[in-house]
Structure 1
């Protein structure tokens, strides 16, 4: 009998419509999550709960509702959340099927709120776009045109439109004037599918740039479906801008933010909000990762603005929370905030932040619960044990990382399906756990020990330490103890997706506005 109370679809819908803080957690792995979930569900798999939940749900008395599709993960997640200090945890009444049976709309894919909003923007603003064939003809004719890729740089490097330059979404308004200084130059914005090209193009339109601007219709998917070739491994990136350009871009961005109803905040106001116990305040630095690492406000999380708009649910998992955005020029924070406000968030931009307050350096570190104490062994000790045939290695890294590189003989396992995985792994007298760094594996030690009744050790430094020690690795799927459902394969990533999958994805995106209408909890508007 469950000790966790239930919370109904009607209760959650009421909270969403009222703008109250609520977190609806799908604790399945990403692939099944992408098959069907409510619009504002946040995916935090049970297998990685300790690593992600404190950052994504910072306040321990947040109203949290967890669900699965009948796999038995939700009750375990609720118990773990209580152990982590969360005091208002409930199960979704009837789970995923209960949501559907109560009349709730279910959505496919990931980052759906942002993608649905992008489709709404295009529907209402008629964002200009050009077909892949039209853009190809312009490039072939050596027309006065620049192609700006609004994705992350690593995505751009995987595949890009010929001549394209990497300018992630939040950077567009700041940098376009120096990339295309002639107002007659046509600007084309692309992503892999539709959302970031729509939002990027409309950002330039909203900011009033003088150039003709259009989205590449359907992004690299549309380019590929048109039978055209993509580039790979390119490294063209934006360069620094002058102070005049920066000032003019800041004025334009501020005007857009004001029109969208973005709030303003001082450092003193931020401090007061962060001291509140009954409200969640997220602080995001929306500059580039390189700028963030050189110096940032203490406690700010690095989320470049374009990705924040694209993946809001992945970092701000409490719907109804307050968002505060920071940069050092007012352009990227204001443009990003203008979109978040239209997506129904209470969002504020920090004004007049002096560089002297960016006192913290280095990459962002996620807040974590106390790390469990466990016995560790060195890579060389593990190598000796493997030579003796007296140990079994369990690898809890992402499946893609395991397939690419793992310790010889290691079995890959999903922590959320540990009992099922161990039933497939030949028994051993002792087990050694690893992942990329050993962090996730550390949280699995006690569970493996309880399940097997054997001695369990942690590989110090994880697989990275094994590699650094010059020890051998192997690749492939020889030892998969769990199904590879930890990541949903996006139809718009990579270059080897079936054409049917790419076209199906576009068809799905086209239907999102209609789904939003049926759901009616979104609170979106378009300026």
Structure 2
């Protein structure tokens, strides 16, 4: 299939004109993180069919696929066309073509958000304290409160002593009751820099009376200072009273208004859902628990702090419209993230006037999926028996490497769907292969491709890994039987508790250089309140 190509000037003009464009880096996350254009969102070839309809809701959006010469861009473009997308092209010359045309390349993940955070600090000189200064305050039992603005699971892995988990968008709502005394100093931390800068500046922008400082360089800075982190903590924010909620709502609305955030209504969004010539994302920015208890149809659960940190992971169409809603927090958790998205040059709206009776759906968000291939399946107990008694049966798991390491079927092989041909050279040849994954839908796609490569019987584990766990069957942990390199996950230098200090320092040095890179790139349209 001949697919048209697009060049650097086409992409750059789209970005400069703030027109809709999905520039998709279809390599796995690790190669993507090594170098990519600023607004190239990572949508790996392995997951195109699973993620496309949620991330690219408008079928006519201009899409340009990008790789580094592996041939993934062509394959991804073909899959997107099969899914019904009508304006799909391949970026001419891949990543090296971008570079040769004079384009700036960025390292790491979530680069638009991280570079924006550095841009904010450079313009606003966001106040911060060093790890040593914060430790002295804690040791002296000074009147301070430490708030950790990462996801709870990150906080639980490692945290600053005395720190309380208050994910970013919750700050303006929750802090007044965590630090009711205006003389209490507030320290905001994350793993590195971005979320603590944005969190600190959020409180300052909202006019919180307390002195607020970021913990400079987050848990990385704390570790590099030779100071001990806590592990396994579970201190969380609590519910707040109506007066607190009302005051926070006014503060957040004022910040959103100053940032030029627009307002919308339920009637208007119904029209937008049906709009053929514009991409609109609908996000509920409350906690996942609140979302599951009741939410608006068509809205995806994306807690506000993570939305600002990882915007391109859920909204890869640059130039799209974004609608946020926070029906139970007085709008605070929609207005504060919206104020940041507006400064990141998104066309952003907050949905007002939502009543509890409008929250008609319950449960977790379900990704919209295409019709998936029909593959013969087998139940978990049967697979377990085969693997124990039949040496001619092998299981292959196409989950993320991180999930595979946490727990997989004993003896099962790990493989990446994008590397299937290479992986099968390492996996022994047998008469029967059972394919599994999380999510289970991925196994249907992988099984179909495997069946085209080999003559052996290919089945899928009915319900995937979740069904195996529900059946109470044994799991094996660790990175055994790797048929593919774990390219699907870039090892972030701020995750986990056993990171090389040199890698941490290199990460900080990289962050400090982002503002200069933004200037060279010139397509961002960022501004600061």
TM-score with structure 2 length normalisation? 0.98
- Using a 3 Å threshold, how does the CA distance of structure 1 residues 323 and 437 change in structure 2: closer, same or farther? closer
Aligned to 1:424, what secondary structure does the other structure show? coil
**Structure 1 residues 266-306: Cα deviation after superposition (integer angstroms, max 9, x where no partner):** 11111122221100111100011111111111010000100
Any residues of structure 2 matched to 1:96-115 within 5 Å, and which? 96-115=95-114
Shift >6 Å, 4+ stretches: none
1:378 is aligned to 379
1:451 is aligned to 453
CA distance in 2, matches of 1:502, 1:492: 7
CA distance in 1, matches of 2:369, 2:69: 28
CA distance in 2, matches of 1:252, 1:467: 46
**Structure 1 residues 467-526: Cα deviation after superposition (integer angstroms, max 9, x where no partner):** 332333323333111111110010011111000000000000000000000000001000
Q: Does 1:464 align with 2:463?
A: no
Aligned to 2:425, what secondary structure does the other structure show? helix
CA distance in 2, matches of 1:252, 1:56: 32
- Using a 3 Å threshold, how does the CA distance of structure 1 residues 345 and 437 change in structure 2: closer, same or farther? closer
CA distance in 2, matches of 1:492, 1:391: 40
CA distance in 1, matches of 2:439, 2:21: 32
CA distance in 1, matches of 2:146, 2:471: 44
RMSD: 1.0
**Structure 1 residues 137-161: Cα deviation after superposition (integer angstroms, max 9, x where no partner):** 0001110000000011111100110
2:142 is aligned to 143
CA distance in 2, matches of 1:297, 1:33: 34
Q: Does 1:57 align with 2:56?
A: yes
**Structure 1 residues 198-243: Cα deviation after superposition (integer angstroms, max 9, x where no partner):** 0000000000011000000000000000011111111111111111
CA distance in 1, matches of 2:198, 2:219: 16
1:365 is aligned to 366
1:314 is aligned to 313
1:397 is aligned to 399
- Unaligned stretches of 5+ in structure 2? none
Alpha-carbon shift at residue 255 of structure 1 (Å): 0.9
1:356 is aligned to 357
Any residues of structure 2 matched to 1:50-449 within 5 Å, and which? 50-328=49-327, 329-386=330-387, 387-449=389-451
Alpha-carbon shift at residue 430 of structure 1 (Å): 1.6
Deviates more, 1:140-149 or 1:427-436: 427-436
Aligned to 2:213, what secondary structure does the other structure show? strand
CA distance in 2, matches of 1:7, 1:249: 47
CA distance in 2, matches of 1:118, 1:382: 49
CA distance in 2, matches of 1:327, 1:383: 45
Aligned to 1:392, what secondary structure does the other structure show? strand
**Structure 1 residues 339-380: Cα deviation after superposition (integer angstroms, max 9, x where no partner):** 000000000111121121111111111111112211111122
Q: Does 1:21 align with 2:20?
A: yes
CA distance in 2, matches of 1:492, 1:297: 35
CA distance in 2, matches of 1:105, 1:310: 21
CA distance in 2, matches of 1:433, 1:427: 14
Alpha-carbon shift at residue 437 of structure 1 (Å): 4.6
Deviates more, 1:335-344 or 1:427-436: 427-436
CA distance in 1, matches of 2:124, 2:473: 57
Alpha-carbon shift at residue 50 of structure 1 (Å): 1.1
Aligned to 1:283, what secondary structure does the other structure show? strand
CA distance in 1, matches of 2:480, 2:152: 32
**Structure 1 residues 92-135: Cα deviation after superposition (integer angstroms, max 9, x where no partner):** 01111101100111000000000000000000000000000000
Q: Does 1:477 align with 2:479?
A: yes
Alpha-carbon shift at residue 51 of structure 1 (Å): 1.1
CA distance in 2, matches of 1:265, 1:415: 41
Alpha-carbon shift at residue 401 of structure 1 (Å): 2.1
Q: How many residues align?
A: 526
Deviates more, 1:220-229 or 1:436-445: 436-445
Aligned to 1:188, what secondary structure does the other structure show? strand
Deviates more, 1:280-289 or 1:401-410: 401-410
1:525 is aligned to 527
Match of 1:503 among 502, 505, 523: 505
Alpha-carbon shift at residue 72 of structure 1 (Å): 1.2
Aligned to 1:445, what secondary structure does the other structure show? helix
1:488 is aligned to 490
CA distance in 1, matches of 2:211, 2:59: 49
**Structure 1 residues 374-413: Cα deviation after superposition (integer angstroms, max 9, x where no partner):** 1111122222322122212111111122223222221111
Aligned to 1:483, what secondary structure does the other structure show? coil
CA distance in 2, matches of 1:47, 1:224: 35
